[in-house]
Structure 1
Amino acid sequence: MNVSYQWLKEYLDLSKVTPDALADKMSRTGIEIEDVAIPETGLKKIVVGHAVVVVDHPDSDHLHVCQVDIGEEELSQIVCGAPNIAAGQKIIVALPGSRITGNAKIKKGKMRGQVSNGMVCSLAELGFSEKVIPKKYADGIYILPEDAVAGKPVFPYLAMDDAILELSITPNRADALSMRGVAHEVGAIYDQQPKFPSFELTEDESDSVENYLKVVVENSQDTPSYTIRIVKDVKVAESPMWLQTKLMNAGIRPLNNVVDITNYILLEYGQPLHAFDYDQLQSKEIVVRKADDGEALTTLDGEEHSLTSEDIVITNGSVPVALAGIMGGLDSEIEDTTVTVAIEAAVFNPISVRKTAKRYNLRSESSSRFEKGINLSTITTAGDHAAALIAELAGGTVVAGTSSQSVLEIQDKVVSITLNRINRSLGTTITIEEVKAIFDRLGFSVVEKEGLFEVAIPPRRWDIEIEADLVEEVARIFGYDNLPSTLPISPAQPAALDNKQRLVRHTRRFLEGAGLSQAISYVLTTPEKATQYMMRESKTTQLEMPMSEDRSTLRMNLLSGLLDNVSYNKARKNKNVALYEIGRVFYKEESQVLPIEEEHLAGVLTGSLLEKDWKGQPKKVDFFVLKGILEGLTASYGLTEKITFVVDKQRDGMHPGRTAAVYLGEKEIGFVGQIHPLAAKAYELDETYGFELNLQAIVEAEKESTVYEAIPKFPGMTRDIALLVDKTITNQQLVDLIYKKGGKYLANVRLFDIYQGENIEEGKKSMAYTLSYLNPTATMVEEEVSKAYDKVTSALIEEYQVVVR
């Protein structure tokens, strides 16, 4: 929720409170402020201009040469390509030397031979997002109101000198999804009672709503309250500047005065409204009911939906005209020709609204508020205020009366709590008078008798129901910083790491020593990403009520989350990324209720592990770099069973020629290789390598005891061997055979060269190894090494028909 500081000042005295101080205070009392932004920051020398003369450019079919009054003695010539520029308009002008969005500097120049002293700006060039620019000006420049003064800074007219507080609203504080709700919160913090401007609703007593519509609600549990007001003789037009800027600063696109008023009321009261073109309803009856299976509705976004019997719809008695609480129908939208408006103010079942919004992926400002709850005491007030504003700004006449059906009983909720409970929970010694003052600041009526408080909670705070909620309210206003800090008293227990903790810590140290950084990804992801890079068959585990579609499914791999992290870094010009993650994945069998949790280890490399320096250029990571890291890591575990790498050409999402399955003994525990180019493209990545291992299997595997040995006193010997082999034979096969036949003093085998190309016959490759021999108890002699070396050579020739070069 974006909250305008200037709008908030209409309700409270904040003359001595800066936006930053307000943000800090609110964050300390329970509503986190993500950011405080002033839209004009970074922009300068942008003023109001008056287009006095506009003529076509002599050498262009789309440019215009404009003589613009910018508050100086002489007119300034500016060349403009906007299709909607015309003489007499008040426009936005960036003067020579000005800065527009992106820190771009505007200079004096020429366009096709004509001097241009600056630039005529659109809202996008001032930093406004495309999704909030009024539709009328989406493809051109913005036209300022006629009373804008040429030469004056443009920022006050566009409310760009306002401070926008970005609130991070938790589900339990949905009351702060409105300006009035935030005003009550800020008023409690600064011990003020917000003052909301009154409005006057004048009805045409000669006409009655009964002449227009009758409301029928089939199920009061689905729709506890539904009200319609009629405003006739409406003139649909552009909204006034103050209304447009309030909507844009809140992240909502202005459309026309009628729709903008409903959005304004949504922001002020937190009450979603919907405006129908009455004549397009083609009925004198509104019926709210469940949809029939297969019933069709085309919503305002132009999408046609096949509805189900779980959806609540607004109908004209026969066909749906709106999806209740989510989005209106295209056939009854407000258009320039609309004359009579029907204003809907209602409350719908939050669970049904959420399920429908999720089913059709139609999350809206209205649905988010119905899902989390609304202030039931202001439903009709919000509708009345909207009608009064439409009469004022659109020249309409409000028809007398409302057509409604409601089963709501609006009353304060009473919650009891004792002073002893408050102090015991908070560790404080707050007095009765202090508690009463806190409840008074919150706007809660309270009756106290012998330390027992009977607190009346107004409907605007529907989140408060039990004692613990009152304790939290007292703590917030009293100040979390003022609560005493104490340490728990408990007997000391000797601490020790278990086997899993030791292995995890060792893994972190090893990988960080190899140049990787630890990442922590979300456990919840999309259904598509949850099923990528799976290491076993499993059903997905999905939340019944996820916060968003992107966080709806428990992950079954770590790699997709790491690829998201790499993509995030690459988008910010960080091309060398090396990450690892240790975390749980969640598998689910057909008959299981709860998923199986399994510890995994995954890593991703892209770019280079080394930076360019005086020693030379960095080398890009490849399959062997990542495989080498894994070999070193698994070797350090001291596993009794051998880790082997086997070619894997079938794994989804991985390159078929650069991927290997990882085996512990006979059991597959993971994979390593290059991310398939198509998968990398989907994540907007360059050549990227990754791995994922079942860390749980490694934790549970048998390990050799750690035995410390003295440094050998005797020198070892080495022999090099170069082999010409079929290209189908793998390094692992050769190394396994060398170790098998190399004798008891063979300590290490290292591949140091591989070659294919000129002077090597087709279908062959040359592989060169260094064999290291060491006798820890005596000096090696040539005969011992030669004998062992000959056995290896003979075995290689016999087994793989190699040619020793």
Structure 2
Amino acid sequence: MQVSIKWLKDYIDFNETAEKLADMLTMAGVPVENVIDPGEGLDKVITGRIEKIEPHQDSDHLQICTMNVGNSENIIIVTGAQNVAEGQIVPVAMVGAHLPNGMKISKGKLRGVMSYGMLCSAQELKLDLETLPENQKTGIFILPADTTVGINVKDHLGLNDKVLEFELTANRSDCFSVFGLVREIAALTGNKIKWPNIAVKEDEPTKISDCFSAEIKDHDLCSRFSTRMLKNVKIGPSPEWMQQRLDGAGIRPINNVVDVTNFVMIELGQPMHAYDYDEISGQKLTARRAVEGELLHTLDDTSRKAKKDMLVIADSEKAAGLAGIMGGFETEISEKTTTVILESAKFYGPSIRRTARACGLSSEASGRFERGTDSENTLRALDRAAQLLQEMGACNVCTGIVDVYPQPQQSITVNFTPEQINQHLGTAIPKQTMIDILNKLEIKTTDNGADITAYIPSWRNDISCMQDISEEISRIYGFDNIAATLPSGAALQGSQSEQQTFIDKVKDLMCSMGLYETVSFAFTHPSMFDKLNVPAEHHIRQAVPIMNPLTDDYPLVRTCLLTSVMENLARNFAHKNNDVKIFEVASVFQPVNLPVTELPVEKTKLAGALTGRRNQLGWNQSNDNLDFFDAKGIIEELLEKLAITRYTVEAGEHFAMHPGKTAVFKKGRDIIFQVGELHPSAAVAFGITKPVYIFSADIETLIKYQAKAVKSKSLPKYPAVSRDLAVIVDSTVDAGLIQKTITKSAGQYLVNLDLFDVYEGKQIEDGKKSMAFSLMFQANEKTLTDEEIDIHFSKITAELEKSCNAVLRS
């Protein structure tokens, strides 16, 4: 949002400089980002008339111009321009001028002739070339023949102004208008506002209701739809003063009708649109939701397919424009237009924002609708636009309006006491001062004695409670006038939750084992589920769709952390980094139902991947590759450091892992970890040609089983006894079952159990395998005898024979 000082002074007088005013507004919560001087560099550029042109004797392209610049004596300027002629009035940069393009002008000789300045082109003056005719875009800029000689060129071009560029917060939609800013200036300076008298004379007997109608079909997206009709419209340029005001606002003038709608939008904060009445099929406009896939030809000459949630303005045959964003190509104002329908409406801001983002269109109008406009301002905007065109002699105004406003906006009142305000701000502002400040902001009040009632105007949609009132009072009273005080109350020391502390510990442990942490967006793509072999009915396919995704690559909220891990792994491979050890701890979001009616369930997961060489490349390091047991060892080390014990490891299944090369760590019925080789089809889908080992866990489950209290005990005084046990079992029996059986039957003295050999070969029957375990027994109160160990050993072999069909190997 930007506006010129001249435009502000049309409605209020003030003596403050642009810089001072910018500082006052910024300190009052209406931040000014920049003060722009459109005439910068033109201080010594004046208008001059070419009295005489002579060819240069020593050049075939230079000309000697005798210039009248309003002084007692003419000056000589040598130029190479060929589009100049005697009698023309042109911009003259005098000696000492420092032009906007950085050129500094000094006197000097050109082929022996002294030159005391330079004739300027539009480019050298940094004028907007798009607004100029073709013959003025190059060569010396020719001014009108009636231009006064000897005046500063920025006075003639209307550049003797300054422009305030605002960086407004989204809640101050009222300040996205000149009227809103004028109210702020009046409150800060105490000066009186000179509001224009908005009155339109309906000088055309035709009633709009007899030849035009309007309708709102979707009231949740459009709450008011108002129109006026203009006849005998004469399309032409708008007045110079209006073009200068629009230039200061950063809007390029087009023609009188379009310029007036833009002018009213900036002035009142109410976007408008003008339609060619003769191009409206059925002479009716309807605000409705678009039909899915409905074609729309917009003003930028682009055909678009509308989505069903978008709001369009349609005639009886087609969509005639994207509501609040861009009008339709067929109904645009052209030189042939003679009858105009002016539209002024109130649209639902979030709908306009979503549509603008989906279409990649953003405009001055959409920005205002997104922040919220004043529904009580639609008729005023229509009258203002009709008045301005009428004053230009550009139209006749038809009788009446068509105003569809089924549910008028309810006024808001806020009751408060001065004590509440002062307690909230830590001030002692008198009651009357508060009332005066609110009245300056055109917020009417009633003093009820004990409390005050504030009647919030329709344009202040950001005020709804006492805290908002206190903000208005404090910013006009002056933040500098409020004494700084330290907050009172009990001081509490911040701390991390148990889960946060646990996650930090997990990250430290993983990094200590040589893995790198990754951080990813919490988004994914549906194709990732297919690449990871997720079953069609699996719950993680039920992901929350994002209404406005950052890119087309991330349309869903993540439900599985392995999608992010595999994406990072594939990115590493693409950059020729083939030795990868990564992990990530992050949230996944599982919706309760779709479409979403309540917040998704958020769970924190741990996932990772390993591939490539086990050690860094070096002359003294082996060149072995990582395998399944490296991944399994990392999990076992992590669980040991987290004091999670008495778990079992079994063969398992996972949709993304290789069948037969997958293990699950279980504690009771809960799976605390899954680890395995990446499924071959998943590897192909990601373009991976080497073994990759992945793992996944649920943080909440790990927290559940970590030791709550760690007990210490003294080192044993008595020696341990070691026994080896070799059994022959079916090849389908896994080590976890045997270890579980041994542990269960070994008694209280078993302190360690390790599998140290697995053998299948000639000396073993087909379908069988030999597994050898090392058992260590130890007691804290005595040295164990062989007889005591034999008792426990016999129980172990008996239980293995019974539960696992194991045979003791001799």
- Normalised by the shorter chain, which TM-score bucket? 0.5 to 0.7
Question: Counterpart in 1 of 2:12?
Answer: 12
* CA distance, structure 1, for counterparts of residue 554 and residue 142 of structure 2: 41
Q: Do 2:90 and 2:119's aligned partners in 1 also have CA atoms closer than 8 Å?
A: no
Q: Deviations over 1:4-31 (max 9, x none)?
A: 22211222221x3222221111111111
Query: Aligned letter for 2:69?
Result: G
Query: Aligned letter for 2:218?
Result: N
Map 1:109-128 → 2, pairs under 5 A: 118-122=118-122, 124-127=123-126
Q: Do 1:346 and 1:379's aligned partners in 2 also have CA atoms closer than 8 Å?
A: yes
Instruction: Name which of 66, 69, 85 aligns with 1:71.
Output: 69
* CA distance, structure 1, for counterparts of residue 141 and residue 63 of structure 2: 17
Q: Do 1:39 and 1:127's aligned partners in 2 also have CA atoms closer than 8 Å?
A: no
Query: Aligned letter for 2:301?
Result: G
Question: Counterpart in 2 of 1:751?
Answer: none
Deviation, structure 1 residue 421: 1.0
Q: Which runs of 5+ in 1 are unaligned?
A: 505-520, 528-536, 558-582, 600-638, 643-665, 668-696, 701-805
Q: Do 1:135 and 1:254's aligned partners in 2 also have CA atoms closer than 8 Å?
A: no
Q: Deviations over 1:457-493 (max 9, x none)?
A: 1112121111211111111122112222221345678
Map 1:211-610 → 2, pairs under 5 A: 212-393=211-392, 395-409=394-408, 412-489=411-488
Q: Deviations over 1:246-302 (max 9, x none)?
A: 111111111112111111111100010111222333542223322222221111112
Q: Do 1:237 and 1:394's aligned partners in 2 also have CA atoms closer than 8 Å?
A: no
Question: Counterpart in 2 of 1:29?
Answer: 28
* CA distance, structure 1, for counterparts of residue 136 and residue 178 of structure 2: 27
CA distance 1:411–1:492, change in 2 (3 Å):
closer
* CA distance, structure 2, for counterparts of residue 240 and residue 87 of structure 1: 30
Question: Counterpart in 1 of 2:47?
Answer: 48
CA distance 1:169–1:294, change in 2 (3 Å):
same
CA distance 1:12–1:482, change in 2 (3 Å):
same
Q: Deviations over 1:392-424 (max 9, x none)?
A: 235322222223322253564211111221111
Q: Deviations over 1:661-684 (max 9, x none)?
A: xxxxx99xxxxxxxxxxxxxxxxx
**Structure showing greater Rg:** 2
SS in 2 for 1:226: strand
Query: Aligned letter for 1:6?
Result: K
Question: Counterpart in 2 of 1:194?
Answer: 193
CA distance 1:470–1:68, change in 2 (3 Å):
farther
Q: Deviations over 1:307-339 (max 9, x none)?
A: 122222222211122111111111222223322
Question: Counterpart in 1 of 2:183?
Answer: 184
Deviation, structure 1 residue 99: 2.8
CA distance 1:395–1:591, change in 2 (3 Å):
closer
Query: Aligned letter for 1:7?
Result: W
SS in 2 for 1:105: coil
Deviation, structure 1 residue 210: 3.8
* CA distance, structure 2, for counterparts of residue 595 and residue 144 of structure 1: 69
* CA distance, structure 1, for counterparts of residue 346 and residue 140 of structure 2: 39
SS in 2 for 1:229: strand
Q: Do 1:258 and 1:394's aligned partners in 2 also have CA atoms closer than 8 Å?
A: no
CA distance 1:591–1:211, change in 2 (3 Å):
closer
CA distance 1:402–1:524, change in 2 (3 Å):
farther
Q: Deviations over 1:517-555 (max 9, x none)?
A: xxxx9999999xxxxxxxxx9999997679999999999
* CA distance, structure 1, for counterparts of residue 592 and residue 210 of structure 2: 59
SS in 2 for 1:274: strand
Query: Aligned letter for 2:237?
Result: E
* CA distance, structure 1, for counterparts of residue 395 and residue 283 of structure 2: 20
CA distance 1:313–1:414, change in 2 (3 Å):
same
In the superposition, the TM-score normalised over structure 2's length comes to 0.58
Deviation, structure 1 residue 388: 1.6
* CA distance, structure 2, for counterparts of residue 496 and residue 218 of structure 1: 53
SS in 2 for 1:309: coil
Deviation, structure 1 residue 245: 1.6
Q: Which runs of 5+ in 2 are unaligned?
A: 505-518, 526-539, 565-583, 594-598, 606-633, 638-674, 677-698, 703-810
Q: Do 2:93 and 2:119's aligned partners in 1 also have CA atoms closer than 8 Å?
A: yes
* CA distance, structure 1, for counterparts of residue 451 and residue 168 of structure 2: 32
Deviation, structure 1 residue 118: 2.4
Aligned residues: 561
CA distance 1:546–1:86, change in 2 (3 Å):
farther
Query: Aligned letter for 1:121?
Result: S
Map 1:656-735 → 2, pairs under 5 A: none
Query: Aligned letter for 2:466?
Result: E
* CA distance, structure 2, for counterparts of residue 337 and residue 587 of structure 1: 59
Deviation, structure 1 residue 119: 3.7
Deviation, structure 1 residue 50: 5.7
Question: Counterpart in 2 of 1:204?
Answer: 203
* CA distance, structure 1, for counterparts of residue 82 and residue 211 of structure 2: 48
Q: Do 2:92 and 2:117's aligned partners in 1 also have CA atoms closer than 8 Å?
A: no
CA distance 1:492–1:439, change in 2 (3 Å):
closer
Q: Deviations over 1:617-647 (max 9, x none)?
A: xxxxxxxxxxxxxxxxxxxxxx9x99xxxxx
In the superposition, the TM-score normalised over structure 1's length comes to 0.59
Q: Do 1:80 and 1:120's aligned partners in 2 also have CA atoms closer than 8 Å?
A: no
Q: Do 1:2 and 1:166's aligned partners in 2 also have CA atoms closer than 8 Å?
A: yes
What percentage of aligned pairs have identical amino acids?
31
* CA distance, structure 1, for counterparts of residue 35 and residue 158 of structure 2: 15
* CA distance, structure 2, for counterparts of residue 595 and residue 135 of structure 1: 63
SS in 2 for 1:446: strand
Q: Do 1:314 and 1:322's aligned partners in 2 also have CA atoms closer than 8 Å?
A: yes
Q: Do 1:297 and 1:322's aligned partners in 2 also have CA atoms closer than 8 Å?
A: yes
Q: Do 2:42 and 2:154's aligned partners in 1 also have CA atoms closer than 8 Å?
A: no
CA distance 1:379–1:240, change in 2 (3 Å):
same
Q: Do 2:557 and 2:589's aligned partners in 1 also have CA atoms closer than 8 Å?
A: no
